[in-house]
Structure 1
Amino acid sequence: MEADTQGKKAIKFGASGFVGNYILEGLLNDPDYDQVTVVVRKNLNLSHPKLVTLIGDYHSLPSLKDQIVADEVFISLGTTKKNTPDQKIYYEVDHDYPVLATQIAKGKGAKSVFLVSAVGPDAGSSIFYVRTKGETERDVVAQDLLHTHIFRPSMIMGDRQESRPMEKIFIKLFSLLNPLLIGPAQKYRGIKAKDISKAMLLAAKKPAGKVKVYEWKEMNELL
């Protein structure tokens, strides 16, 4: 019997972000994938034989649906209060876009979604950020793909191109605190952006149930 040599197709939303950059690099360098499509607001100025670039955002996504064809969907969309002070637009980026992307990709045959969320999401919370993450997880799961993988990092560590002085202070603090966060508190340990992306790509190679959640411990076990 002849082996099936056809590789997988992946689509990446949020490829220009801190974690997204590493995920894209990993997908392009992974022999399991024949094609990697990115949906970005502006061209990444990146050339690779596997790479297909679609220029779009939440509002133009439906017009791109015929090109959103992949086996696996990787989502690391997000913004900050500083960059997006308007809560309506923040919610659109953090919730509406991931949910719509998953819905369209499923309609075109996607079987698995890999979502970067955050530690401690709660759809019933009175805190906007926590509630948004909880509602995003809930509504991505509701799209009912064959496999939904949710990654919940706490402090994302590493060197960003974007200057965030306060974040650098917190990263130094977490470097000291990490060993002290044990037992149930382990999930609050900081993790490098590169390690989150590596865990996501390794999770894509392992069989999983319908919905699988990865906090610090589960991500670390994959590395």
Structure 2
Amino acid sequence: MGSSSPRRALIAGATGLVGRELVERLLADPACRSLTVLVRRLDALPPRPKLALVELSDAALASLPALDDVYVALGTTIAVAGSEAAFRAVDLDLVVAVARAARAAGATRLALVSAHGADTRSRIFYNRVKGEAEAAVRTLGFERVAIARPSLLLGHRERLGQPPRPIERLAMRLGPLLGVLPASVRPIAAGAVAAALVDALHRAPSGVEVLTSAGMQSFARAGHRAPAE
């Protein structure tokens, strides 16, 4: 790890595929001394040592405990959110609000789960919003920013009490057949994204690093660093 003393971390989006993997990884990591998780419901996760659940609200964001690291794994879909405006409220506005609040609480390192194709100039609304979120968090004054751009995520949402997304269900069924796809668009396990983000956030003291989906899959296979863009 890049820090000599245990870190105080925050996760937003801990009930999603990558967020749940981040929770497990950080709780098992001796370099993480405390983990605060922002949740919609206080029964969203079972009690665990060094884990504190905080109900997400404006008041909670204004009074976060002292932090060193923040992991933002928030995300929805337009279908689930109900409209483009509602999607933007989560994937851009809430992402930035959490990052800004964590920075005010002392966090110096930020890890963000974005998406393959994120680009502020994209004609695709989803990709454009993801790009806007990336651009916004870069301006908040963090010493270290690690941004993951995974392709389609693989994982079992039903185990998290969430309905599986149709395209993710199809990817899980096709399994090995998808191995013929280019690594940049091949589906990636949520655990691989979490592992690469934690590694990237801690291994360098400063700077911005964008982790590609292909790089994160390479990291998962070989245990080496995920190449950045």
Q: Specify the TM-score bucket, using the shorter chain as the normaliser.
A: 0.7 to 0.9
Change (3 A) 1:166 1:108: closer
CA distance in 1, matches of 2:77, 2:200: 27
User: 5 Å matches for 1:114-153?
Assistant: 114-153=111-150
Deviation track 1:35-76 (CA, whole Å, cap 9, x = no partner) reads: 0000111022411120111101xxx23543222421110011
CA distance in 1, matches of 2:210, 2:88: 22
1:78 deviation in Å? 0.6
For residue 36 of structure 1, give the secondary structure of its aligned residue in structure 2: strand
One-letter code of the match for 1:168?
R
Deviation track 1:115-162 (CA, whole Å, cap 9, x = no partner) reads: 000001111223211110110111011112101100000111122212
CA distance in 2, matches of 1:129, 1:86: 12
User: 5 Å matches for 1:83-162?
Assistant: 83-161=80-158, 162=163
Corresponding residue number in structure 2 for 1:169: 170
Change (3 A) 1:72 1:163: same
Q: Which runs of 5+ in 2 are unaligned?
A: 221-229
Corresponding residue number in structure 1 for 2:223: none
1:52 aligns with 2:39: no
Change (3 A) 1:197 1:63: closer
Moved beyond 4 Å, runs of 4+: none
For residue 10 of structure 2, give the secondary structure of its aligned residue in structure 1: strand
Corresponding residue number in structure 2 for 1:9: 8
Instruction: Report if the CA contact (8 A) 1:115-1:149 is conserved.
Output: yes
User: 5 Å matches for 1:177-188?
Assistant: 177-181=178-182, 186-188=183-185
CA distance in 2, matches of 1:169, 1:201: 28
1:19 deviation in Å? 1.2
Instruction: Report if the CA contact (8 A) 2:110-2:201 is conserved.
Output: no
Corresponding residue number in structure 1 for 2:36: 37
Instruction: Report if the CA contact (8 A) 1:155-1:174 is conserved.
Output: no
One-letter code of the match for 1:24?
V
Change (3 A) 1:145 1:216: same
CA distance in 2, matches of 1:146, 1:14: 22
1:196 aligns with 2:193: yes
Instruction: Report if the CA contact (8 A) 1:117-1:133 is conserved.
Output: yes
Count of residue pairs the alignment pairs up: 213
In the superposition, the TM-score normalised over structure 2's length comes to 0.85
One-letter code of the match for 1:55?
E
Q: Which runs of 5+ in 1 are unaligned?
A: none
CA distance in 2, matches of 1:166, 1:216: 17
Instruction: Report if the CA contact (8 A) 2:78-2:86 is conserved.
Output: no
Corresponding residue number in structure 2 for 1:77: 74
Deviation track 1:75-94 (CA, whole Å, cap 9, x = no partner) reads: 11011222111221210100
For residue 137 of structure 2, give the secondary structure of its aligned residue in structure 1: helix
CA distance in 2, matches of 1:142, 1:74: 16
Instruction: Report if the CA contact (8 A) 1:203-1:222 is conserved.
Output: no
CA distance in 2, matches of 1:12, 1:142: 20
